[in-house]
Amino acid sequence: MAVAFFDVDGTLTATRLWKAYMAYFQQHRTRRWTHAMFMAWHMPLYLLHRRGLLSETRFRRQWAAHLAWYVQGWTVDQAQGIWDWAVETYLKPYWRPATLKRLQEHLQRGDTVVLVSAAPEPLIRRVGAFLGTPHVVATRLEVMHDRYTGRILPPVCIGPEKPRLARAYLEQQGITFKPEEAWAYADAISDLQLLESVGHPVAAYPEPELAAIARERGWEILPEDAAD
């Protein structure tokens, strides 16, 4: 039995999960002030990122952490509707066929499939339930007295934290594995450390920077036409 790590954004889906998250609030016409504050905070950082003055990992780390603002004060049950709507409605047309097929092949072989994402953990758990894997490593939202506080429990699951948190999770679950026999699937340069941590890295629907590294190192690129 092997272990296979799957990033979600851009790897299993052709969209970003934060878009599903924000679309929920837009459609339900709630948290407008929260959204305004979020964009006011992050647009300057986005511009710095676009100009190459802020790395993707640093930019996305704050972005992912502040998604917790949207559910501040909501109960765990109240927020469940967000995760359900995102998976059952928004993501329907966005699933990536090649990586979904590979994920199912791992499950059929009896491998341990772990979703590893910077997105909020309850959303990734809902994605995992839809895909048939209970193993999830993501950014944890702080809960007090059954309500989300609007903060996360650090760290954000991104960059070098992805392989570290994934290994810690498997250890907690009592699952042992050999890194050289493990698989990882990801699309972005911020996932490079996750891919480097296994013996079978796969650049899945890779962004140009990661695709160039994958070609240079002889890594598998999925689907095959993405290597062209």
Q: How confident is the model at residue 56 (pLDDT cuts 50, 70, 90)?
A: confident
b/e code 60-76 from CB counts within 10 Å (16+ = b): bbebbbbbbbbbeebee
Residue 228 scores a pLDDT above 90:
no
Q: In what order do the strands lie in the sheet with 135-144?
A: 147-153, 135-144, 112-120, 3-6, 183-186, 200-204, 220-222
Instruction: Indicate whether 37 pLDDT > 90.
Output: yes
| pLDDT tens-place string over residues 79-119 | 999 999 999 999 999 999 999 999 999 999 999 999 999 99
Q: Look up residue 85 and give its two tokens.
A: 């709507």
- CA dihedral (19, 24, 28, 32) positive or negative: negative
Report pLDDT for 39: 92
| Interval 174-204: pLDDT, tens | 999 999 999 999 999 999 999 999 999 999 9
Percentage of residues of the chain with pLDDT beyond 70:
98
- The whole-model pTM stands at 0.94
Share of the chain above pLDDT 90, in %: 87
Are the CB atoms for 116 and 35 separated by under 8 Å? Answer: no
- Confidence at residue 219, expressed as pLDDT on a 0 to 100 scale: 97
- Sorted by where each begins, the domain ranges of the chain are 3-227
Residue 125 has pLDDT above 60, yes or no: yes
Tokens of 30: 């709630």
Q: What is the DSSP string of the chain?
A: --EEEE--BTTTBSS-HHHHHHHHHHHTT--HHHHHHHHHHHHHHHHHHHTTSS-HHHHHHHHHHHGGGGGTT-BHHHHHHHHHHIIIIITGGGB-HHHHHHHHHHHHTT-EEEEEEEEEHHHHHHHHHHHT--EEEEEEEEEETTEEEEEEESPPS-TTHHHHHHHHHHHHTT----GGG-EEEE-SGGGHHHHHTSSEEEEES--HHHHHHHHHHT-EEESGGGG-
Pick the CATH number of 3-227 from 1.10.3720.10, 1.10.150.20, 3.30.460.80, 3.40.50.1000: 3.40.50.1000
Structure tokens that stand for 223 in this block: 């689907």
